[in-house]
């Protein structure tokens, strides 16, 4: 899918050193998700505009030369089939929605393994992670997938590391949860290049993206999607918890406010959320603390108080136990990304 650039005669310091064009391939599977595909491709096009030169060339690849139908019914004509695909700098697999295992034919899996053997970075958009896992190309890597498919991926491939984050950039594997998270992931990859931070910032402005989300941000799984409409009491309790992170509400009061006993509340949390009410409340507070650590310059002690912890020491102990590193370690790690 060749791209041309118009009206870019204006002098700019970013154009002083012409950079080699990177060829980014998008392997589209039947029933692929259009929003994730478009979010990635358009972000690369806008990055070219922001840089006032062609930095990225995008090509569409399929199992063969036949048109590929997306999940919304749109048909896309591939530029190449896997047997005649050009040399690539990165390949993204744009997954099907819902996942269809029949798409993972032996030639397709072998082609992906060949690219991995050639040290070509591989990525997955939405359920694209599933195909990479079927090709045995995610072992030892952190990856992600849309929250609706996390449990299915865990069950099918117990040996891989799956997170609930918007996207994961782990060495030469780039995976995202789909939707507009593909834009965030591409912007982060652009920012890694020389002069990339400025190009990514300008591209975000052109995309009317007021905030580029980082790799450490988690997908927010709506509780109603987990529970449906069958547990209004539980949803109400969680809503109260979310609204009272700085001054946590006691379990007795939560139960009384929702006309249930403490024992009933504990049973509801255990059955539908596989946690005690206290554990769930603590996770909400720690998740909020993580957001503040990565997205604000607040002192750790102030974040601890804002998330309902009596002391920085107690906060640090809980945080380290849950996330595997201290609050300051989290902040330092985030600054390096």
Q: Contacts by 285-288 with C-beta closer than 8 Å and gap 24+?
A: 285/245, 285/248, 285/309, 286/318, 286/319, 286/322, 286/323, 287/218, 288/245
Packing angle between helix 34-51 and helix 181-191, nearest 10 degrees? 30
Question: CA–CA separation, 16 vs 322, rounded Å?
Answer: 47
Cβ atoms of residues 212 and 27 within 8 Å: no
pLDDT at residue 331 in the model: 84
Q: According to CATH, what is the number of the domain 223-336?
A: 1.10.10.60
pLDDT at residue 16 in the model: 47
Considering the segment(s) 13-206 as one domain, its CATH architecture is: 3-Layer(aba) Sandwich (3.40)
pLDDT at residue 13 in the model: 45
CATH 3.40.50.880 spans which residues of the chain?
Answer: 13-206
Cβ atoms of residues 316 and 326 within 8 Å: yes
pLDDT at residue 244 in the model: 93
pLDDT at residue 5 in the model: 36
Burial of 57 from C-beta contacts in 10 A (0-12 / 13-18 / 19+): middle
Query: Is this prediction's pTM over 0.75?
Result: no
Quote the DSSP letter at residue 174: E
pLDDT at residue 225 in the model: 55
Q: Contacts by 307-312 with C-beta closer than 8 Å and gap 24+?
A: 307/245, 307/246, 308/245, 308/246, 308/247, 308/248, 309/285
Beta bridge partners of 281: none
Q: How many CA atoms lie within 13 A of 295 on its CB side?
A: 14
CATH 1.10.10.60 spans which residues of the chain?
Answer: 223-336
pLDDT at residue 103 in the model: 54
For the chain, 337 residues long, give each residue's pLDDT as a single digit of tens. Answer: 444 333 333 334 444 456 789 999 999 999 999 999 999 999 999 999 999 999 999 999 999 999 999 999 999 999 999 999 999 999 999 999 877 655 568 999 999 999 999 999 999 999 999 999 999 999 999 999 988 788 788 888 988 999 888 999 999 999 999 999 999 999 999 999 988 999 999 999 999 987 777 776 777 666 655 665 568 888 889 889 988 999 999 999 999 998 999 999 999 999 888 889 999 999 999 988 988 887 778 899 999 999 999 999 999 999 999 988 899 988 887 655 5
Q: List the beta strands (DSSP E) in the chain.
A: 22-28, 56-62, 68-69, 75-76, 80-81, 90-94, 122-125, 142-144, 161-163, 167-170, 173-176
Question: CA–CA separation, 107 vs 111, rounded Å?
Answer: 6
């Amino acid at each position: 899918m060749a791209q041309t650039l118009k009206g870019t005669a204006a002098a700019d310091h970013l154009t002083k050193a012409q950079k080699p064009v990177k060829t980014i391939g998008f392997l589209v599977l039947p029933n692929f998700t259009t929003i994730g595909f478009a979010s990635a491709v358009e972000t690369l096009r806008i990055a070219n505009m922001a840089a006032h030169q062609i930095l990225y060339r995008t090509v569409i690849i399929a199992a063969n030369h036949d048109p590929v139908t997306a999940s919304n019914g749109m048909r896309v004509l591939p530029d190449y089939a896997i047997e005649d695909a050009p040399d690539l700098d990165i390949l993204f697999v744009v997954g099907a929605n819902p996942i269809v295992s029949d798409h993972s034919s032996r030639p397709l899996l072998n082609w992906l393994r060949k690219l991995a053997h050639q040290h070509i970075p591989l990525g997955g958009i939405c359920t694209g992670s599933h195909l990479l896992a079927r090709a045995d190309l995610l072992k030892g890597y952190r990856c992600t997938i849309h929250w609706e498919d996390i449990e299915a991926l865990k069950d099918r491939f117990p040996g891989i590391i799956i997170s609930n984050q918007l996207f994961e950039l782990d060495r030469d594997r780039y995976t995202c949860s789909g939707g507009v998270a593909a834009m965030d992931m591409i912007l982060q990859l652009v920012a890694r290049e020389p002069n990339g931070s400025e190009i990514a910032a300008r591209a975000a402005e052109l995309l009317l993206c007021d905030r580029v989300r980082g790799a450490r941000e988690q997908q927010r799984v709506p509780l109603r999607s987990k529970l449906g409409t069958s547990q209004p009491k539980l949803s109400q309790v969680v809503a109260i918890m979310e609204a009272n992170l700085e001054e946590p509400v006691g379990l007795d009061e939560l139960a009384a406010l929702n006309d249930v006993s403490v024992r009933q509340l504990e049973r509801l949390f255990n059955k539908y959320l596989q946690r005690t009410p206290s554990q769930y409340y603590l996770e909400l507070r720690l998740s909020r603390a993580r957001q503040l650590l990565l997205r604000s310059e607040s002192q750790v002690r102030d974040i601890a108080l804002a998330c309902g912890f009596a002391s920085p020491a107690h906060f640090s102990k809980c945080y380290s136990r849950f996330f595997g590193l201290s609050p300051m370690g989290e902040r330092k790690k985030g600054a390096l990304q």
